[in-house]
C-alpha cells in the first residue's frame, strides 16, 4: 500500500483522528484545522475518501439518520493512524528545518555540522 499522502488526504486523516465523522463533518473540520484556508469541495472529499479507504487508512463506520438526513460515518484504521503519525512527524521536521533556514542567519555551526 503506502500511498502517497497529499495535503488534502492528510487533512482528512487528521480530521478523523479524534473521532469518526461523516463527510460533511470532515469538510467542516478540515476547514477549522487549516485555519479556514482549505475548503474541501465535494469532488475532492469523496475522491480522497475513496483513496483512503482503498489504501486501508480509513473505513466506513456506520450510518445514522439525524433529522431525516443520512449521515455516513468514516473512521481511521490502525494503519491510517500510523500513516498519520508518520506524516505528522515528517511535517514537523520539515517545518523545523524551514524555521532554521529562515530564522537562522546561517550561522557557521561549529558543533553540529
Q: Which residues bind DNA (CB under 7 A)?
A: 3-4, 6-9, 22-25, 28, 38-44, 46-48, 51, 66-73
Q: Does 112 bind its own copies (CB under 8 A)?
A: no
Residue choice 33, 44, 56, 59 for contact with its own copies (CB under 8 A): 33
- At closest approach, how far in Å is the CB of 16 from DNA? 13
Q: Does 1 bind its own copies (CB under 8 A)?
A: no
- At closest approach, how far in Å is the CB of 52 from DNA? 10
Cell readout for 59 is 473505513
Contact 62, 19 (CB under 8 A): no
Interface contacts to its own copies, rule CB under 8 A? 7, 14, 17-18, 33-35, 37, 84-85, 88, 90-95, 97-99, 101-102, 106
Amino acid at each position: 500500500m503506502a500511498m502517497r499522502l497529499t495535503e488534502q488526504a492528510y487533512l482528512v486523516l487528521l480530521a478523523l483522528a479524534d473521532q469518526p465523522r461523516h463527510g460533511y463533518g470532515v469538510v467542516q473540520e478540515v476547514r477549522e484545522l487549516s485555519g479556514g484556508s482549505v475548503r474541501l469541495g465535494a469532488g475532492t472529499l469523496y475522491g480522497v475518501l475513496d483513496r483512503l479507504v482503498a489504501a486501508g487508512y480509513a473505513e466506513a463506520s456506520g450510518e445514522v439518520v439525524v433529522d431525516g438526513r443520512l449521515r455516513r460515518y468514516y473512521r481511521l484504521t490502525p494503519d491510517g493512524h500510523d500513516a498519520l503519525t508518520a506524516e505528522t512527524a515528517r511535517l514537523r521536521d520539515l517545518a523545523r528545518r524551514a524555521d532554521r533556514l529562515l530564522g537562522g542567519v546561517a550561522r557557521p555551526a561549529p558543533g553540529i555540522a
